Amino acid sequence: MIAFLTGRLAFKAPTHLTLDVQGVGYEVHIPLSTYYALPNLDEVTALNIHTHLREDAIQLFGFLSQSEKESFLLLTSVSGIGPKLALSVLSSLSVTDLVHAIQSEDIEKLATVPGIGKKSAGRIALELKEKVDKVHGVRPQTAAAPELDGPYEDALSALVNLGYRAQDAKEALKRVTKAATGAVALKELIRKGLKELARG
């Protein structure tokens, strides 16, 4: 099983490349993120490789970073997501964006990937949410941290004090802040939060 290759870059295209390793040319399928970071032709490059065995073929998938390879393997573990679709995901979203979209269950963002519908996006978020924090080199999501400051925290506290479950209140406030175009005042946050909770 090939896990790593180092050789001369003999050919490159957005979807695949040929790596000359001591006179043997390996065709390797790659995501766009790897393609854009490749050196010039005839230069030496090293790729993390996943060997994909099929009944009728052996395919190699290559990645410049270990985190891309790990994300690829996680994606292909989801039912209905094959190697080509996993490459499409990594060509559309950076590893960090992918991990954060899964962690925050951002179905809309995942569904922007060509070939991934809302059903597949939901499946990716559901099946990988507990696994993506192990992806090498990706920091825990901090983008949502500002929501926990000031008005958001006060609004959350107010809704919990009114008898709503903390998780439900969080989800409602998340929807409110997502729909807002700018900062939302505390009173408005509580009012809209209650509206969301009433909707269920």
- 39 and 21 belong to one structural domain: yes
In a domain, 127, yes or no: yes
Q: Is the pTM of this model over 0.85?
A: no
User: What six digits make up the tokens of 116?
Assistant: 């991934």
In a domain, 164, yes or no: yes
Residue where a domain stops, chosen among 36, 63, 90: 63
In a domain, 139, yes or no: no
Per-residue pLDDT 10s for the chain (200 aa) are 889 999 999 999 999 999 999 999 999 999 998 998 899 999 999 999 999 988 888 999 999 888 899 999 999 999 889 999 999 999 998 888 898 899 888 999 999 988 898 899 999 998 998 888 777 655 554 444 344 446 777 888 888 878 888 888 888 888 888 877 667 778 888 888 898 888 76
What residues have CB less than 8 Å from 144, skipping those under 6 apart? Answer: 104, 174
- 75 and 116 belong to one structural domain: yes
- 73 and 56 belong to one structural domain: no
In a domain, 140, yes or no: no
In a domain, 166, yes or no: yes
Residue 1: closest CA among 66, 52, 48: 52
In a domain, 30, yes or no: yes
CATH number at residue 43: 2.40.50.140
Torsion of CA 142, 37, 27, 94, to 10 degrees: 20
Domain count, the chain: 3
Residue 183: domain span:
145-199
